[in-house]
Amino acid sequence: MTVETVVYDEHGHGARDDPVDARDDAGTTWVRVVDPTDAELDEIAAGYGLHALEIEDVLGDVRPKVEEFDEHTLVLVKAATLRRGDVAFADELRDEPVGFFVGDDWLVTIEPDRVAALDAVWDRVAREEPRLLSHGPDFAAYRGIDRVVDDYYAILDDIEDDIEAVEDEVVDPAGEDVLERINSLRRDLLSVRRLLWPTRDAVGVLARGDPVHVDVATEKYFRDVYDHLVQLVDLTETYRDLTSSARDIYLNALSMSTNEVMKTLTVVATILLPLTFVVGVYGMNFQDSALNMPELGWQYGYPAVMLGMALTAGILVAYFRRENWL
């Protein structure tokens, strides 16, 4: 559990021990809350006027959204990572909610679990680029959201690599796990799609400048993030089409392979059919009658039948080879 506070004013920036008292300091305040206890959440909520339902949304599995209140605006987004499983392509998309509470001169971020994307922004503010807060809390929120969205590109890059690997194997129907890999990719892309669409809509609200806590100068930055999300949605749809095509190609290749097997079995059955008929006729063994087969008592009857069967089979094999069925 971590509660960190930094304040930037005309004299520079500095850390604060009490996040609630820091709200009254001159300048811009950023309070970062990571894996908080109930007591810490109650303290922050009371000090900054955060509603209990807002906190519940951040801690729960709620889709990204923007909600405007009298003293602040809530921007809920989700950071995502694609975690590798023990088996190739057994990836799992994990998302972690991040709540940005943007006030007039303060920003509170709440992370149920630490988010690496926000670590990078916090380090820049606290150590390298404290003047980032001089542009206001809405600009600091933009930097955090932008970093979260940038990580979506890395996820799609990993999925693209997996798609290319599957496409190399999809024409070989002998690969038993190819279809499973394709379905796994489609599930990952569906999860990404469910994440991107509401995030795009939420950032679109900020890009239009609807919330009063988003400065006009910051709107263009949110429009840039919105453009990135539109591109990500397009990429996701393209990759979904590629996986659908790969699945169709695999199923067609599997069908063709099955047809080849059936054709071979049909040829073998066709060759054996007249031989079975001959064997069945001569297997009746009727004798001692002028109406029965006279060749049953012929000295060369057996070799003649075997020779006739061999010739029949040879003629059929030659015919099927000429027709490219063998």
Pick the residue with more confidence: 5 or 297? 5
pLDDT reading at 110 higher than 60: yes
Instruction: Grade residue 30 by pLDDT with cuts at 50, 70 and 90.
Output: very high
| Rounded average pLDDT over 125-139 | 81
**CA-CA distance, 118 to 167, in Å (whole number)?**
35
Give the pLDDT score at 90: 42
Instruction: Grade residue 198 by pLDDT with cuts at 50, 70 and 90.
Output: very high
pLDDT reading at 79 higher than 70: yes
| Rounded average pLDDT over 78-97 | 70
**Contact yes or no for 207/167 (Cβ under 8 A):** no
In order of 185, 195, 228, 250, 282, the CA distances from 160 in angstroms are 9, 17, 17, 18, 65
pLDDT reading at 3 higher than 60: yes
| Rounded average pLDDT over 152-174 | 84
**Contact yes or no for 96/104 (Cβ under 8 A):** no
Residue 91: strand, helix, or coil:
coil
**CA-CA distance, 40 to 108, in Å (whole number)?**
13
Task: Read off the tokens for 208.
Answer: 């239009």
Give the pLDDT score at 289: 63
* Helices 178-207, 216-282: inter-axial angle, 10-degree rounding: 160
**Contact yes or no for 91/158 (Cβ under 8 A):** yes
Q: Which of 45-54, 81-90, 166-175, 208-217 has the lowest mean pLDDT?
A: 81-90
- Give the residues across from 102 on adjacent strands: 73, 107
**Contact yes or no for 75/102 (Cβ under 8 A):** yes
Question: What domains lie within the chain, and their CATH numbers?
Answer: 2-255 (3.30.460.20), 256-322 (1.20.58)
Pick the residue with more confidence: 212 or 88? 212
**Contact yes or no for 115/148 (Cβ under 8 A):** yes
Instruction: Count CB neighbours of 236 within 10 A.
Output: 24
Strand ranges in the chain using DSSP code E only, listed in sequence order: 2-9, 12-15, 28-34, 65-68, 73-83, 92-102, 106-111
Mean pLDDT of the chain: 85
Instruction: Count CB neighbours of 98 within 10 A.
Output: 23
Instruction: Grade residue 101 by pLDDT with cuts at 50, 70 and 90.
Output: very high
**CA-CA distance, 50 to 90, in Å (whole number)?**
40
Residues 6+ apart with CB under 8 A from 204: 226
pLDDT tens across 206-240, in order? 999 889 999 999 999 999 999 999 999 999 999 99
Give the pLDDT score at 78: 94
Give the pLDDT score at 253: 77
In the chain, the percentage of residues whose pLDDT exceeds 70 is 89
pLDDT reading at 199 higher than 90: yes
Give the pLDDT score at 137: 92
- Give the residues across from 8 on adjacent strands: 13, 28
**CA-CA distance, 95 to 192, in Å (whole number)?**
10
**CA-CA distance, 109 to 106, in Å (whole number)?**
10
Give the pLDDT score at 1: 66
Give the pLDDT score at 259: 75
Instruction: Grade residue 17 by pLDDT with cuts at 50, 70 and 90.
Output: confident
pLDDT reading at 66 higher than 90: yes
**CA-CA distance, 199 to 75, in Å (whole number)?**
10
| Rounded average pLDDT over 93-111 | 92
Pick the residue with more confidence: 222 or 267? 222
**Contact yes or no for 26/9 (Cβ under 8 A):** yes
pLDDT reading at 184 higher than 50: yes
